Amino acid sequence: MKTVLITGCSSGFGLEIARHFLARDWHVVATMRTPRDDVLPPSERLRVLALDVTDPESIRQAVEAAGPIAVLVNNAGFGVASPAELTPMAAVREVFETNTFGTIALTQAVLPQFRQRRAGVVVNVTSSVTLKALPLIAAYRASKAAVNAFTESMAVELEEFGVRTRLVLPGRSPETRFGDNARAHMHGLDNEAYAGLVKKVFAQFADTSSPVTHAKDVAEAVWRAATDPSAPMRIPAGADAEAWAAEVR
């Protein structure tokens, strides 16, 4: 029975990805900064582990506890909303520590077992905003674009070992807590110079007629990335993400 390790499973995409794999009889290692046993259905094929991807010792302990895995899904991350000029460097470093460096560090910890077995899949969940320049999210977009570049180069290196890497690019998902979590990382939005832009952007976010991404869209895309060797490197997830991807082809 194959095992998948998924980060950021306490809510949103990570939680739905874990449910998706459990429903298909996989063993699931669901990791969270603060483990909770009440968010996923009880199962003999489920383990919930503590994991802070910014902490090397936490990574070491989680990978050791997980044992052999077939698929790693790097999903943990958060957003930052701020004009580029006004984004505190501490906030830039924080979003890169989780979204970029945490993804890289956990991947490095898992790759030796994949390489030695000459099998394994790394699925990195980034964002469709890497396909299109949007205002007020420069630091967040950069942190995800860096993962895209890292993943694509890594794919070339690992091909001879039978290890695959894929990217899943979700769109905007109002049904998740991503927006709520990002509110703690907003800076400079009350600055007079950017008032007009901020008003325009938030009005677009409030438009309920626009296509959006659902958590199940992301789970299905991750499943495809993990199980279909013919899947493309970049897989948009959600109606809005698919539309943006079609625009840039």
Residues labelled as active-site residues: 140
Q: Counting beta carbons within 10 angstroms of the beta carbon of residue 184, is it exposed (0 to 12), middle (13 to 18) or buried (19 or more)?
A: exposed
Paired tokens of 70: 């077939």
Distance between alpha carbon 235 and the CA centroid of its chain, in Å?
Answer: 13
Q: Counting beta carbons within 10 angstroms of the beta carbon of residue 116, is it exposed (0 to 12), middle (13 to 18) or buried (19 or more)?
A: exposed
Q: Cα(161)–Cα(25) distance, rounded to whole angstroms? A: 27
The answer to whether residues 156 and 200 touch, using CB atoms and an 8 Å cutoff, is no
**Which of 29, 198, 226 has its CA nearest to residue 124?**
226
